[in-house]
Chain A
Amino acid sequence: MKKEIPVAITLILAILYVAANYFTGVSFLETTKNLLDQWFLIVAAWAVLVGSVNLTQIHGRKVAAKREGWFYSAWLIACLYGMMFFGIFVAKNASYPGWTFMYNQLIAPMNATVYSTIVFYIGSAAYRAFRVRSPEASVLLVTALIMMLGRVPLGRMLLGGNPALSQMADWILNVPNSAGMRGIQVGACLGGVATALRIALGIERGHLGGTGE
């Protein structure tokens, strides 16, 4: 029964939700879909609390035991609860100046910093991928060279103003690349629908803590 009841609930709600997306003019379906969307938001809000408890437990134990790097954990807990209490008791709304200051001056630059590190990772990944070790890697290297030179002014300059590299880069991007991407997307969409069906029908129960039937 521990698994049958969740499977039955999943099936019923999946049918209602899918029907609400396909059919119009049925108030019961629309009401149910809106209700389920609201439930999802409520569950997500409570799940934040569960996640915060997990973070506090892991880092609290680290601080208590004074394990290596414990001060980073202490700082994390201070920031977590500092933001939380400031938001709940001082800011109270997302447009409060102090709140927007913290977001714009702290969180946004930190996010941008981490995002910008990707450029270095692209370099190291490209170096490994483009090493000529096999015919496939050679094709990858040649394609990448055309793409890179075709996308920067240097490529046109090297050919004395001839746009051939740029046109080749466009062709690679729009024809073989698009065809490959779309092929993967068709397969992935069908796979996604099949996964959804397996879960809705209760055949796949991995999300319930087991695999298969």
Chain B
Amino acid sequence: MSIVSGYSFAFWVELVYLAAVIVMITRARGGIKIPEIYKVAGLEAMDEAIGRCTEMGKPVHFSPGIGDLQNAQTLAAMSILGYVAKQCARYDTDLIATNRNVIVYPLSEEIVKQSYAEIGKLDSFKPDNVRWISDDQFAYATGVTGIMFREKPAANILVGAFWAESLIFAEVGSIAGAIQISGTANTHQIPFFVAACDYCLIGEELYAASAYLSKEPVLLASLVAQDWGKMVGVVLIVIGTIMFSVGSDSLKVLLSK
């Protein structure tokens, strides 16, 4: 048994990172104070967007993107969906969750149903509002466009893995007059969301959403480990830049081992 060539450094880094996450979680369980997390405007606006829908008597539209379940962004979107569904159940606001991926669809339905059940309003859950549109990227985009124009949601929440359809969703949401909260880690789609939406979760903010919204100390603790990882990354970048500038590629060799 040996480590796959080129994966050694990544393996040890991941082990150290795992240890850091476990250490922080253990400390959080022990009641140690977790550092303050900066305010993420997009997540703060989530309740405001749902409240707007409640006041206007219009639904919320939620899309978890077009990634499959192997994509961490989709899993992060599922956690946000749980929060949004609970808030919608609490305020008797319709939630239309559209899906492109056939594996994500039953999961979305179960999460929304479970959220309504946890609030004690299972009777208000409408299975027809959790919809599988199509497995085809642009057929899904067309379906969502139709929903935005026909059902005119007052809030459009787009979080997860998006590709070329991102701007279509954001623009039709804007035309429909919805308050828009988006989030993705797909860097090429972030500019579209920033330009067209009211709030945008950029990159890692999407992954931090579930911890941020739930305010669970254990989940927040893992964000601290995430920040440590980022700091190590920054230090490595600075050291690597200096070393490479003086003609040494030993860090590059070490990283590619």
- A interface residues, Cβ below 8 angstroms from B: 21-26, 40, 43-44, 47-48, 50-51, 54-55, 57-58, 61, 69, 107, 110-111, 114-115, 117-118, 121-122, 124-126, 128-129, 181, 184-188, 190-199, 201, 203-204, 206-213
Contact = CB atoms under 8 A, between A and B. Distances in A.
Interface centre among A61, A128, A201, A203 (most CB of B within 10 A): A203
Interface string B106-130: 1100110111001000000001101
A125 B167 contact: yes
Given A117-B168, A118-B168, A192-B72, A210 B114 contact: yes
A58 B142 CA distance: 17
Contacts of A190: 17, 204, 226, 229-230, 233
Nearest to A69: B150
Contacts of A191: 72, 76, 185, 203-204, 206-208, 226
Q: Shortest 10 CB-CB distances between A and B: which pairs?
A: A209-B114, A206-B79, A191-B207, A191-B204, A51-B132, A188-B185, A129-B195, A187-B204, A47-B102, A114-B138
Contacts of B11: 22
Contact of B105 (A24, A51, A206, A213): A51
Main secondary structure of the interface of B (DSSP, over half): helix
Interface centre among A22, A51, A61, A194 (most CB of B within 10 A): A194
17 contacts: A50-B106, A51-B105, A61-B128, A114-B168, A122-B167, A125-B171, A126-B195, A181-B187, A191-B185, A203-B222, A206-B80, A207-B107, A210-B115, A211-B82, A211-B83, A213-B216, A213-B219
B227 to A, nearest CB: 9
A206 B22 CA distance: 19
B1 A26 contact: yes
A16 to B, nearest CB: 14
B248 interface: no
Contact of B111 (A51, A110, A201, A209): A209
Nearest to B194: A129
Interface string B77-97: 011111100100000000000
Contacts of A110: 138-139
Interface residues of B, number: 86
Given A181-B187, A193-B72, 8 more contacts: A51-B105, A57-B127, A111-B137, A115-B138, A190-B226, A191-B185, A207-B79, A211-B82
Contact of B110 (A47, A107, A129, A209): A209
Contact of B136 (A107, A185, A199, A212): A107
B41 interface: no
B213 interface: yes
A27 B148 CA distance: 51
Contacts of A51: 99, 102, 105, 132, 135
Contacts of B7: 21-22
B21 A194 contact: yes
B238 interface: no
Contacts of A107: 136
B222 A188 contact: no
